[in-house]
Amino acid sequence: MSRPPSAATPAVDAWGRPLIGFDPAHNRNELRRSTARLGVWLSVLMWALMVVGVLSALGVTFGTLGVWHLLTLQDASLHLPPQIPWLLALAGALILVLYGLYAWVLRWARELIVRLGRWALQGLASPAPDAARLETLRRTLAGWLSFGQWGTLLAGVLGVVLVPFSAVWSQRLAEHLSRTLGSPGQVDTMATPALIAFQTVSALLSSVPGIVIAWLILGAVRRFMTLAVNRARGLTPPPILPAATTVSGWFLGCLILLGLSLLGLIANFVLLGVFGALLRTMLTRGAADGLPQDWQNVLPDGWASVVSWGLGALLVVVFVGVLVTVLLFCVLLWSRSYATALARELDARALEGPAA
C-alpha cells in the first residue's frame, strides 16, 4: 500500500536531532535525480572498465611481443622462448577475467542502488516487493566488500614480507649477470641488512594508511547498505543517516584525492604530448643531418616510427586514465547525494509509524 510521506514529520541528523529546514519534496527530488544519474554513471563505468580490460590484455600480450621484436632488430641472435607467447596469452586472459569481475560487481551495485531508490520514491510500505532480491544483492556485495578489505590487508602484508626477499634476489641476479658479462667485480653490494631493514620499515609505514583507509571506507559502505536493505525488508534497524553521513565524509575525501589525481593526469598528458612532439622533431632533424655514432648503435632501423608509436601508446594510456578518473569522480559525487537523500527519506518514513 502506498502512502505519501508526511511533511510534518522531520528527519533526523547523525545525532538523532531533527533537521531544521528539511524539505521532504526537495529531498525526494534529490533522491530521484541522484538515483538516475548514479545508475547512468555506473553503467558507463562498467563498460569503460571492460574496454580498459581489453586494451590492457592486448597491450600485455602484443605489446610485449612488439618490444621483443624491436630487441631482435638490434641482436639477431635473440630468440623468443616458445612458452613466452602462451604465458603472455594467459596473462591477458587473467586481466580480462579480473576486469570482468570488476564490471560484474558494478552491475550488482547498480541494480541494488536503483531498486532501493525506486522503492523509496514510490512510498510503498515495508517490506519492499523485491525484498528477497535486495537481500541477495546485499549478501553478494557484502561478500565482495569483505573480500576487498581482506584483500587489501593481504596485499599490504605480502608487499612488506616480499621486500627483503626481492632485495636479495635482485642482488643475486645482478651478480649472475655480472659474471655472465665478464665483469664480476663491478657489482656493488646493495642488499645490506641495514638497507633491507630500512626498505621493509618504509614499505610497512607506506602501506598501513592505505590499508586502514580502505578497510574503514569499505566497512562504512557495507554498514550503510545493510541498514538500507534491512529497512526495505521491513526490519527496524537504527537510523540510517549516521551511516550515510560517515559514507558521505569518506567519499568527500576520495573526491579530493581523485580531483588532485585528475589534475596530475591532465598535466602529464599535456607535458607528454609536448615532449613527444619536441623529441620527434629533434630526432627527425638529427636523422637528416646524420645522427652521432653512439645513437646509430643504439637506435634500430625505423626508430622514428618506434618513437611515434611508443609516445602514442603512452598518450592513450594517460588519456584512458583521465576518462576513468572522471567517471569515478562522477560516481562518488552522486553517491554522496544518493546516500544522504535515501537515508533521510527512509528515516523520515520510519518516524511516521506504520501506514494506516
Each residue's pLDDT, cut to its tens digit, for the chain (356 residues) gives 444 444 444 555 444 555 545 678 888 899 999 999 999 999 999 999 999 989 888 888 877 776 666 656 655 566 667 777 788 888 888 989 999 999 999 999 999 999 999 998 887 777 888 889 999 999 999 999 999 889 888 888 888 888 777 777 776 666 655 655 555 555 455 566 777 777 777 777 777 888 888 899 999 999 999 999 998 888 877 889 999 999 999 999 999 999 999 999 899 888 888 887 777 777 666 554 555 555 555 555 555 566 667 777 788 888 888 999 999 999 999 999 999 999 998 888 766 554 43
Residue 106: closest CA among 63, 149, 158, 49: 49
pTM listed for this prediction = 0.76
Write down the pLDDT at residue 1: 42
- Tell me the three state secondary structure of residue 40: helix
236/120 Cα distance (integer angstroms): 15
* Number of neighbours of residue 34 by Cβ within 10 angstroms: 22
Q: Are 301 and 71 in contact (CB under 8 A)?
A: no
- Tell me the three state secondary structure of residue 77: coil
Residue given cell 633491507 in the structure block: 196
Write down the pLDDT at residue 3: 46
34/16 Cα distance (integer angstroms): 24
Residue 220: closest CA among 36, 8, 14, 24: 14
Q: Are 129 and 118 in contact (CB under 8 A)?
A: no
DSSP string, 95-119: HHHHHHHHHHHHHHHHHHHHHHHHH
- Tell me the three state secondary structure of residue 292: coil
The ranges assigned to domains in the chain are: 24-352
Phi, psi of 304 (to 5 degrees): -65, -40
Residue 280: closest CA among 313, 303, 300, 299: 303
Write down the pLDDT at residue 87: 82
Residue 244's Cβ-count burial label (10 Å; 0-12, 13-18, 19+) is buried
**Type of residue found at 72:** T
Count of H-run helices and E-run strands, the chain: 8, 0
Q: Are 140 and 73 in contact (CB under 8 A)?
A: no
